[in-house]
Amino acid sequence: MREALREAEKAAETGEVPVGAVIVKDGEILSRAYNLVETYASSSAHAEMLAMDQAEARLGSKWLLGCTLYVTLEPCAMCAGAMVLSRMERLVIGTMDPKNGASGSVFDITACERLNHEIEVTRGVLQEECAEALSSFFRELRITKAQLRRKKRAEETSQTCEHHQQGENNQ
């Protein structure tokens, strides 16, 4: 999970929501990735999807048998569905996502008896650090947005004053 957190940090550094994922097989890291939705302008460029694509390419197989995926945030429906399709053996989650999570929160896709594969799931590994990575990112984003709003308002006020001044001078 430490490695996944490092990936999340890279996402934050590029202005992306900090989620990181790492896939391990037989004690070896097969792939690592972070969220690149904004960079790629692609709604499916989640850390887990990119890590699974890389791992499948590396193994030359559509199945990730015997693999464990470590991810800092509970996967969404797309990512959880992809994990089931890939026959991922185990999923280790940092912090849960009550709004979009599909491994126990909104849906439980990784443990659905009706699908033809179930994944062993461990939750809450380095939970505080994973949650803090997200909280601090959104905190900074809110500060930046507030600063931009203030700057814009100041510019608008300054322009209004200038127009007003010009109007008075022209009278």
- Annotated catalytic residues are 48
Count of chain residues binding a copy of itself (CB under 8 A): 38
Residue whose pair of structure tokens reads 């850390």 in the numeric block: 47
**Site for a copy of itself contains 37 (CB under 8 A):** yes
Give the residue with the Cβ less far from a copy of itself, 64 or 126.
Answer: 64
Q: Which of 4, 23, 33, 79 binds a copy of itself (CB under 8 A)?
A: 79
- Specify burial of residue 78 (Cβ count, 10 A radius: 0-12, 13-18, 19+): middle
Instruction: Please list every residue from 140 through 159 that binds a copy of itself, using CB under 8 A.
Output: none
Integer Cα distance of 10 and 34 in angstroms: 7
**Site for a copy of itself contains 116 (CB under 8 A):** yes
Give the residue with the Cβ less far from a copy of itself, 114 or 167.
Answer: 114
- Specify burial of residue 6 (Cβ count, 10 A radius: 0-12, 13-18, 19+): middle
Integer Cα distance of 145 and 159 in angstroms: 21
Least distance (Å) between residue 64 CB and a copy of itself: 8
